């Protein structure tokens, strides 16, 4: 069994990104937009900022009170959206329910939408148009598979989870690599049987240690996107790592796997956004 570490993937990506940055006329700029003080949002924002600083990408942080009115937030977001010094925008979601998140997703400049929340970029994922931006977590999974030299052509890939953030777009990316893709979810019958036929098994369903060795085909590549807390209060993935490791050929741990690659993908997309805008 080979443990596929996010740090190794990030290291390879960072080297390539720094080469690109040395050829650019200025440092690209990412704007993070957060509403309220949710712990998950703060943690992700902190990780994104740290990654940008390591790369040499400028990072501007915009934080608004949780009770900001919809009109005020729309006005402030539009100002950030129109700021020519900002190349990429990361909106931390979900927003408080009184804010019109759907409208924000519709008005974000697709050329600054580095986490694929615009309907324009989402559509491009599903039609295979590579001029758009990918959802960072789905793209991070593909980076991990590429780093591990996993040949997807003709392989049976199973994705457990059907969210528009990870599961559905990831399935499209796998299809584009000529994998045969099955999407599973909470209502799938005989889940273990379906999963155990997968050459590449990816879970993004968000249920702690839900998948065990019974779900894993011997020699399969296992990618765990889930971030959960187990009964002991420790971070864990959707797979029972110890049990799944007994049969997997390659497996990503949680923590230390896909999650750490996500902010590196964010940096990559900010660089690409800047290139598009400055060209």
Query: pLDDT tens-digit profile of 39-51?
Result: 989 999 999 999 9
Mean pLDDT of 112-121: 98
pLDDT in tens, 172-212: 999 999 999 999 998 999 999 999 999 999 999 999 999 99
- Please choose, from the candidates 263, 238, 264, the residue with its C-alpha nearest in 3D space to the C-alpha of residue 253: 238
Mean pLDDT of 108-126: 97
Mean pLDDT of 95-108: 98
Largest pairwise CA distance in the chain: 55
Q: Is residue 275 domain-resident?
A: no
Q: What is the pLDDT of residue 5?
A: 98
In 113-217, at which residue ranges do the beta strands (DSSP E only) sit? Answer: 156-160, 180-184, 200-203
Name the residue range of residue 188's domain.
Answer: 136-259
Reported confidence tier of residue 236, pLDDT bands at 50, 70, 90: very high
Q: Is residue 2 domain-resident?
A: no
Domain match, 182 and 73 both:
no
CA distance 215 to 130: 33
Domain match, 81 and 152 both:
no
Q: Is the pLDDT of residue 26 over 90?
A: yes
Q: Is residue 52 domain-resident?
A: yes
Q: Report how many domains make up the chain.
A: 2
> 243 and 212 in contact (C-beta within 8 Å)?
yes
Report the CATH number that the domain containing residue 85 is assigned in CATH. Answer: 3.40.50.10860
Q: Is residue 236 domain-resident?
A: yes
Q: What is the pLDDT of residue 176?
A: 96
Domain match, 63 and 174 both:
no
Q: What is the pLDDT of residue 117?
A: 97
Q: What is the mean pLDDT of the chain?
A: 97
Domain match, 97 and 162 both:
no
Q: Is residue 13 domain-resident?
A: no
Q: Is this model's pTM higher than 0.75 or not? A: yes
Mean pLDDT of 244-262: 97
Mean pLDDT of 78-86: 98
Domain match, 143 and 249 both:
yes
Q: Is the pLDDT of residue 279 over 90?
A: no
CA distance 51 to 159: 28
Token pair belonging to 224: 């765990």
Domain match, 85 and 163 both:
no
> 179 and 157 in contact (C-beta within 8 Å)?
yes
Report the CATH number that the domain containing residue 203 is assigned in CATH. Answer: 3.40.50.720
Q: Is residue 33 domain-resident?
A: yes
Q: What is the pLDDT of residue 186?
A: 87
Q: Is residue 6 domain-resident?
A: no
Domain match, 109 and 192 both:
no
Domain match, 58 and 101 both:
yes
Q: Is residue 36 domain-resident?
A: yes
Domain match, 99 and 174 both:
no
């Amino acid at each position: 069994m080979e443990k596929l570490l996010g740090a190794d993937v990030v290291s390879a990506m960072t080297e390539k990104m720094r080469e690109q940055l040395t050829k650019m006329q200025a440092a690209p700029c990412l704007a993070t937009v957060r509403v309220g003080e949710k712990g998950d949002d703060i943690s992700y924002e902190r990780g994104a900022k740290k990654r940008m600083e390591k790369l040499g990408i400028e990072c501007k942080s915009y934080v608004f009170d949780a009770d900001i009115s919809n009109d005020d937030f729309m006005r402030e977001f539009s100002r950030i959206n129109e700021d020519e010094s900002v190349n990429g925008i990361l909106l931390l979601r979900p927003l408080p329910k009184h804010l019109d998140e759907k409208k924000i997703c519709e008005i974000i400049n697709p050329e600054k939408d580095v986490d694929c929340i615009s309907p324009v970029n989402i559509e491009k994922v599903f039609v295979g148009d590579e001029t758009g931006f990918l959802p960072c977590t789905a793209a991070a999974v593909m980076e991990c598979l590429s780093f591990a030299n996993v040949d997807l052509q003709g392989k049976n890939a199973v994705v457990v989870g059907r969210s528009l953030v990870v599961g559905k777009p990831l399935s499209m990316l796998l299809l584009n690599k000529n994998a045969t893709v099955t999407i599973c979810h909470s209502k799938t019958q005989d889940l273990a049987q379906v999963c155990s036929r997968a050459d590449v098994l990816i879970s993004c369903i968000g249920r702690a240690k839900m998948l065990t060795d019974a779900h894993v085909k011997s020699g399969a590549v296992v990618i765990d996107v889930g971030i959960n807390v187990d009964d002991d209060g420790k971070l864990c993935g959707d797979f029972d790592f110890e049990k799944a490791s007994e049969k997997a050929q390659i497996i990503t741990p949680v923590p230390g796997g896909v999650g750490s690659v996500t902010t590196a993908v964010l940096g990559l997309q900010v660089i690409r956004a800047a290139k598009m805008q400055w060209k």
